[in-house]
Structure 1
């Protein structure tokens, strides 16, 4: 796993915290790791963004934010509205390939969902993952409309021949309600495999040491942690 693309079923599902957790575990194993944020939207220049959060939580030293737009829109719409050039995902692919030569892991975090548009030609994270032949880690909500959104995302992955690295619940509430508990079995059924992790709500507010332990307990062995999906399923 040299390149891992992290996407979500929607905005606000916890992609950045999951990306930071994967990175923290890689760095904790002594792996050189880099993080690429394709586009930051909804923030003015100079404000702390997702990359800053990843740095604070994981200690990553090699990070890139490829574009920033002030409007909280899709990257394509945000670029158009601001009059700024859109993100070049072909350029992003070149950067990721270069980083993969000197890093054991490159984590690429998208903006929004798998098919969010990045330019007027319709470039998406799905296309980038295919160009890189990268696995895709999908961050999901628990409860609510997560089953529908996850099913659509997984169908889009399968139709494009993309390799699913797993599903991770980005914000698991404590205590969970019936909707959250009931969604676990549905998510695993859709993915045809156990969950690859579940991070507790509020994990992104922890200090780096506590976050590293939460990441270890909240992500599966394939991502560097000790998360036990059967034990989680029993608790849920």
Structure 2
């Protein structure tokens, strides 16, 4: 049975995509077959559009980690998925449909990493379905601890409140988060960052699995894949 890792963030822009790439690269380095899935991508124009240019999250993960990726829905507006879909006249699949596709894809891989859009409560469909709903449904398909939910958080001021709120929301649905990934760790961390690295697991009761350095996404793919496993604490390596 595949291991399913659902990755959310405390907010948008916290380094979630690079964290997904790091998780995928570490799993590939451990000899696993890996698929990264992005159920809904917003803010990216279609590949054949004259406005196309910025790579989608799935493209970034594929380049950095060297794993298979799949994007299920793409919307051009840089907005929450349900709002972007409404503005573009698109009917989004319900989260149960996303889960069915992910489950079908998962049968061919050791690990499937599902990347959300923004925070855990962002609506992924027109019926109010969120990434939390995706995680709950995937947990029903992958019982016995094969579902993991990972929270990507910022290192600086404000992260304690945002991270604890996110963790509590996940626990409120009966899921214990597997761990935290600190995104964009500065080369010269200040007092707040150093203290937060201690206070994040203490305040949430959730371990820090990895610390991803700032600028990791700009590394050459070969360098990224070589260094990514070292960003994980020893006990959290795949």
TM-score (norm 2): 0.89
Q: Give 5+ residue unaligned stretches, structure 2.
A: 140-146
Q: Could you say what secondary structure the match of 1:152 adopts?
A: helix
Please name the residue that 1:208 is paired with. 221
The correspondence for 2:110, drawn from 95, 100, 104, is 104
Task: Output the CA distance in 2 between the equivalents of 1:197 and 1:114.
Answer: 19
Count of aligned pairs: 224
1:81-133 deviation line (CA, Å, top 9, x unaligned): 11112243212111221222221000000000111011222100001101111
Give the aligned CA root-mean-square deviation in angstroms. Answer: 1.5
The correspondence for 1:54, drawn from 46, 51, 61, is 61
1:159-178 deviation line (CA, Å, top 9, x unaligned): 11113110010110110122
Please name the residue that 1:233 is paired with. none
Matching of residues 164-175 of structure 1 within 5 Å: 164-175=177-188
Task: Output the CA distance in 2 between the equivalents of 1:75 and 1:87.
Answer: 11
Decide whether the 8 Å contact of 2:94 with 2:127 is kept in 1. Answer: no
Q: Give 5+ residue unaligned stretches, structure 1.
A: 226-236
Residue 216 to residue 85, structure 1, CA distance change in 2 (3 Å): same
Matching of residues 42-191 of structure 1 within 5 Å: 42-46=43-47, 47=52, 48-60=55-67, 62-133=68-139, 134-191=147-204
Please name the residue that 2:41 is paired with. 40
Task: Output the CA distance in 1 between the equivalents of 2:91 and 2:206.
Answer: 40
Residue 96 to residue 222, structure 1, CA distance change in 2 (3 Å): farther
Please name the residue that 2:7 is paired with. 6
Decide whether the 8 Å contact of 1:38 with 1:92 is kept in 2. Answer: yes
TM-score (norm 1): 0.90
Decide whether the 8 Å contact of 2:8 with 2:119 is kept in 1. Answer: yes
Q: Could you say what secondary structure the match of 1:129 adopts?
A: helix
Please name the residue that 2:142 is paired with. none
Decide whether the 8 Å contact of 1:22 with 1:223 is kept in 2. Answer: no
